């Protein structure tokens, strides 16, 4: 037998262990961060939350996924649709109207229709006036004369003397109004020129009746600014309206209106005139207690637009003078006092 055969009891010795530990098995590869997904989420968040393009770009560049040479810009938020934006846009188109009559002084508001000073207002603001003075939003004062009146619609058109470069208002469409729409009122309550209040359209197509006759107004309303008498749903408010009245389908609003807002602007959030404040409800017939309780009424602008052509031709109750009516006392459309509501 050869030595290649192992004898009984004999064992072969294994080789000695290596001088260094065996290499560890390679670890499984680490998952790379989901950069693309992270970037997509960041972009979506920026779009939804109004983040800037610059911030998104910085995130992409940090992870090596952004395109070089692209820069973002900050875009400031527009004031369109805010009360402040509407006030800034429309206030230059709303004026204060001060009148003198044989029974006292009155104050109302008006809406500029042309750059040379054509103004629409309530008939009760200027009726019976022997002198009309208009103050624009920048404080300039102009004398004015009456071009035409329509007592049956409680509308009047006056014209400034020597005016130019004024900002005309944009007339909207009152048929598009919905209950709950936000509106802004601009006028001159108690001679506070350019006063801005806001609210909503509370109701539409309210059948409101107001007096046409100066005989139905008390002198103290002319001087003290009491509540403008009107009737609704068979009831009379702020005093009796008498028999000689005019009626219209009114916009009801809870925007704060006070004596002096008559003839001013009710504006939608696009800066368009949608109505003309003309009457308010006051819980007290006493002029000292008159004031806003969130029940105001405005003539729809579509009614106004439909009467402009007639008013430019003299309307139904004017002599084209300073403001004197050529009608009888009952048809002259008397000044509301309301001062001028």
Which sequence positions are flagged as catalytic? Answer: 124, 154, 262
Instruction: Yes or no: say if 117 and 124 are a contact pair by the CB < 8 Å rule.
Output: no
Q: Are 109 and 260 in contact (CB under 8 A)?
A: yes
Contact at 8 Å (CB) between 290 and 339? Answer: no
Give the up-direction half-sphere exposure of residue 157: CA atoms within 13 A in the CB hemisphere: 22
Determine the Cα–Cα distance for residues 150 and 333; give it in Å rounded to an integer: 8
The token pair at 39 is 């970037």
The alpha carbon torsion through 259, 262, 265, 267 (nearest 10 deg) reads 70
- Looking up tokens 């810009």 gives 73
């Amino acid at each position: 037998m050869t030595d290649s055969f192992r004898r009984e009891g004999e064992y072969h010795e294994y080789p000695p262990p290596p001088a260094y530990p065996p290499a560890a098995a390679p670890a499984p590869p680490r998952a790379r961060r989901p950069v693309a997904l992270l970037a997509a989420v960041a972009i979506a968040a920026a779009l939804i939350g109004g983040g800037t393009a610059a911030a998104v770009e910085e995130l992409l560049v940090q992870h090596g996924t952004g395109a070089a040479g692209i820069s973002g810009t900050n875009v400031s938020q527009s004031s369109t649709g805010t009360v402040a934006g509407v006030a800034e846009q429309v206030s230059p188109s709303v004026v204060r109207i001060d009148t003198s009559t044989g029974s006292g002084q009155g104050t109302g508001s008006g809406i500029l229709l042309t750059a040379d000073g054509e103004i629409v207002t309530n008939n009760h603001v200027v009726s019976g006036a022997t002198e009309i003075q208009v103050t624009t939003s920048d404080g300039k004062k102009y004398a004015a004369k009456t071009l035409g009146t329509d007592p049956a619609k409680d509308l009047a058109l006056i014209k400034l003397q020597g005016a130019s470069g004024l900002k005309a208002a944009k007339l909207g469409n009152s048929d598009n109004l919905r209950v709950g729409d936000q509106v802004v009122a601009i006028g001159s309550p108690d001679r506070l020129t350019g006063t801005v209040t806001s609210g909503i359209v509370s109701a539409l197509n309210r059948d409101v009746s107001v007096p046409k006759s100066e005989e139905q107004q008390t002198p103290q309303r002319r001087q003290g600014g009491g509540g403008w008498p009107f009737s609704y749903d068979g009831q009379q408010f702020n005093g009796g309206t008498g028999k000689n009245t005019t009626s219209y389908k009114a916009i009801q609003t809870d925007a704060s209106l006070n004596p002096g807002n008559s003839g001013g602007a009710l504006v939608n959030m696009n800066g368009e005139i949608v109505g003309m404040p003309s009457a308010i409800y006051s819980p007290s017939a006493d002029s000292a207690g008159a004031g806003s309780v969130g029940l105001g009424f405005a003539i729809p602008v579509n009614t106004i637009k439909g009467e402009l052509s007639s008013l430019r031709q003299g309307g139904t109750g004017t002599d084209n003078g300073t403001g004197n009516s050529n009608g009888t006392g009952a048809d002259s459309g008397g000044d509301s006092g309301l001062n001028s509501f």
